[in-house]
Chain A
Amino acid sequence: MTAATGNATQVYQLYIRAGQQEVWEAITDPAMVARFFHGAQVESTYQPGSPLRSWSPDRSQQWGDNTVLECDPPRKLVHTWRGLYDPDQAAEPESRVTWEIEEQPGGFSKLTLIHDRLDHSPRTAAHVTGWSYILSNLKTVIETGEPLSPIV
């Protein structure tokens, strides 16, 4: 059953009680990203082809040096992924993360995150299951203004 760690395409989806624009701003505003993504310090202009870089909260360690592949506000953001926070993952080929936001009736948005191109990155594939925590944290931050307790 641990073979799941090798799945080359992973899909994460949830509903957030917020408009499409609000969700878009949450995933592209560095102050918001820090609140739901382990305190990450993110820098990007979010132009296709531009870098998307991230650091640990105290900026002592670089976590990501990725590239924006596609940016269609407030619907779709696509970027490369390679985890620099772990030497084993950093040694693997880069994979791809796609964020899709769809407006739903009743003041909801549907957020779908697809992490794919993991065929040759088994260690990354095993680790990115943490998206469940990240996305439920994002939902909590947007809906209540407060992040979840840090994972232990």
Chain B
Amino acid sequence: MVVSVLAADDDLVFKALADPTRRLLLDRLFARDGLTLTELEAEVPELTRFGVMKHLAVLEQAGLIVTRKQGRHKHHYLNPVPIRLIWERWIGKYRDRPVTALLDLKDHLEGRS
């Protein structure tokens, strides 16, 4: 499926992470991985079942969650690899640049005031 190959795309990861509800779902799986749809619904009672499913589909398409079937149940696992790839592409390489010096200056000045 072409869609699944595109799941490697940064765009899908950024879009998936841009929504607070989806970040909440990821945090729930971070705390307790491998939840079923019913268990995830219970974790976010403010959402409808349809709402949870819709958000899970976006997260899965972005590769941020991986589902595995065990018996009759489908379990949802947080997949941290796309975030690692984003980190390497968009965060790690800028980390040690002069921006660090500017942040140090900011801390220094703000700490003094």
Contacts and interface: CB of A to CB of B under 8 A. Distances in A.
**Interface footprint category on B:** 20 to 34
Contacts of A85: none
B5 A3 contact: no
Interface string A1-44: 10110011111111100000000000000000000000000000
Interface string A96-134: 000000001110101010100000000000000101110
B88 A12 contact: no
Contacts of A11: 33, 66, 68, 77-79
Nearest to B68: A11
Nearest to B27: A1
Contacts of A12: 79-81
Contacts of B84: 132-133, 135-136
**Interface footprint category on A:** 20 to 34
B58 interface: no
A131 B32 CA distance: 18
B5 A104 contact: yes
Contacts of A4: 30-33
B2 interface: yes
A112 B82 CA distance: 13
A148 interface: yes
A8 B81 CA distance: 18
Contact of B80 (A105, A129, A148): A129
B5 A105 contact: yes
Interface in B56-82: 63, 66, 68, 75, 77-82
Contacts of A112: 66
B7 interface: yes
B1 A148 contact: no
Contacts of B80: 12, 129, 132
Give the most central of B4, B78, B81, B82: most A CB within 10 Å. B81
B70 to A, nearest CB: 9
Nearest to B70: A9
Given A4-B30, A11-B77, A104-B5, 9 more contacts: A1-B31, A4-B31, A11-B78, A13-B79, A15-B7, A105-B2, A108-B8, A132-B80, A133-B84
Interface of B: 1-2, 4-5, 7-8, 27, 30-34, 63, 66, 68, 75, 77-85, 88
Interface of A: 1, 3-4, 7-15, 104-106, 108, 110, 112, 114, 129, 131-133, 135-136, 139, 148
